Amino acid sequence: MVSDAGSYSPVPLDLIERAPKVLLHDHLDGGLRPLTVVELAEETGYADLPSTDPDELARWFAAAAYSGSLERYLETFRHTVGVTQTADALRRVARECAEDLAADGVVYAEVRFAPELHLERGLDPHQVVEEVLAGFAEGQRLAAAAGHRIRVGVLLTAMRTATHSRQIAELSVEYRDRGVVGFDIAGAEAGFPPTRHLDAFEYLRRENAHFTIHAGEAFGLPSIWEALQWCGADRLGHGVRIVDDIEIGPDGEAHLGRLAAYVRDCRIPLEMCPSSNVQTGAADSIETHPIGLLRRLGFRVTVNTDNRLMSGTSMTHEMELLSAAFGYGLNDMQWFAINAMKSAFIPFDERLVIINDHIKPQFTALRAVLAERLTERI
């Protein structure tokens, strides 16, 4: 689909808010409401918050995250993980996550979290997964009652700096018919290549299970190459550094290296998170974010939030930023949503239902609204 930037830019904010969105890369412990963090800290006795004022706390998370360093960015999770060590806390944050995403116009989301990070107060990994799944189920019901349809799938994450990836992979397979749709590894990339967890990935492939790998964010092309060619990832978490394998000639023509060509030719989805990428130094600005080039070249790029609390963002905000930076219109936003839905880890027929019964009709209706507004101005 050719960009409609010239005809429909900028898209009014209210239409972006109403547009159906698909989210593949969102961390549960990176999307808590500031008030929830404060209340859970009080309930659970967590005493290390930098502030107990929700507004001040939100500003602290944003300031701490804008460090230009992935490692510094990851330090902020000490607090959100610290307040989610009980069954009630996990269920609550999952419920609120589903409600918040649905209110933002997200019709399908895959939300990831690391069970191994929530065991400090006696929960076992199975209990952690079950409480999160219960919270999402409740949140989806409440969202539907409020008029916002959403489906949430869970990705179980293993920390690449730890040694529990095989166990977490087995847990993801055990729960794959109960709401878990895939597996992921996350954490600091430098010094912790994905091949350290090859046993987990080989197990998942034998089990016909889906997985994505954080790669090409803080580290470059070797991280992407290992994730794909050694580990067999279905998608790339971020993958922003694939642009290092693309050369722009004096005539403006793009020349793809072997790895970049492979990623594009095989339609490997890139889970791009513009605001987060700027915060961690993976991109210099929204205006120069590689998503613009990669979208123009026809890579399967998707738009994501990563961590809504740390980045102070939402899917609506990410789309608004991209519309302003690249002139994207409703056709582009539909293209991103369908890209993401095609790349989701749920069955093909279920993806088609969401695309054909929800995404396309809603965008058609929004284009009609926009056309009517433009006519009224003439």
Q: Residue range 30-52: average pLDDT?
A: 96
pLDDT in tens, 321-378: 999 999 999 999 999 999 999 999 999 999 999 999 999 999 999 999 999 998 887 7
pLDDT in tens, 94-104: 999 999 999 99
Lowest mean pLDDT among 39-48, 96-105, 182-191, 317-326: 182-191
250 band by pLDDT with thresholds 50, 70 and 90: very high
pLDDT of residue 103: 98
Domain assignment of residue 305, yes or no: yes
Give catalytic residue positions: 217
Residue 287: left if φ>0, alpha if ψ -120 to 50, beta else—which one? alpha
Asked if the model's pLDDT at residue 229 lies above 50, the reply is yes
Residue type, 234: D
Domain assignment of residue 2, yes or no: no
Share of the chain above pLDDT 70, in %: 96
Number of domains in the chain: 1
Nearby residues of 259 by Cβ (< 8 Å), 6 or more positions away: 221, 224, 225, 242, 245
Lowest mean pLDDT among 61-65, 122-126, 248-252: 61-65
Q: What angle do CA 368, 286, 365 make, to 5 degrees?
A: 10
Please tell me the number of Cα atoms within 13 Å of 71 on its side-chain side. Answer: 6
Asked if the model's pLDDT at residue 74 lies above 80, the reply is no
What's the residue count for the chain? Answer: 378
Domain assignment of residue 332, yes or no: yes
Domain assignment of residue 134, yes or no: yes
Question: How far, rounded to the nearest angstrom, does the alpha carbon of residue 289 sit from its chain's CA centroid?
Answer: 16
Total-model pTM: 0.95
Domain assignment of residue 111, yes or no: yes
Asked if the model's pLDDT at residue 120 lies above 90, the reply is yes
User: What CATH number is attached to the domain comprising 350?
Assistant: 3.20.20.140
Domain assignment of residue 61, yes or no: yes
Domain assignment of residue 106, yes or no: yes
pLDDT in tens, 127-179: 999 999 999 999 999 999 999 999 999 999 999 988 999 999 999 999 999 99
pLDDT of residue 219: 75
pLDDT of residue 5: 44
Asked if the model's pLDDT at residue 6 lies above 50, the reply is no
Asked if the model's pLDDT at residue 218 lies above 90, the reply is no
Q: Residue range 49-54: average pLDDT?
A: 95
- Domain extent, residue 274, equals 13-377
Domain assignment of residue 1, yes or no: no
- Candidates 208, 205, 244; CA nearest to 225 is 244
- Distance separating alpha carbons of residues 110 and 106, to the nearest angstrom: 10
- Candidates 267, 258, 260, 230; CA nearest to 243 is 260
- Distance separating alpha carbons of residues 105 and 96, to the nearest angstrom: 14
Share of the chain above pLDDT 90, in %: 85
Largest Cα–Cα distance of the chain, in whole Å?
65
pLDDT of residue 216: 85
Q: Are strands 106-113 and 301-303 parallel, antiparallel or unpaired?
A: unpaired
Burial of 67 (0-12, 13-18, 19+ CB in 10 A): middle
Asked if the model's pLDDT at residue 184 lies above 60, the reply is yes
pLDDT of residue 187: 82
4 band by pLDDT with thresholds 50, 70 and 90: low
Judge whether 129 and 115 are in contact, CB under 8 Å. Answer: yes
DSSP 101: H
pLDDT of residue 43: 96
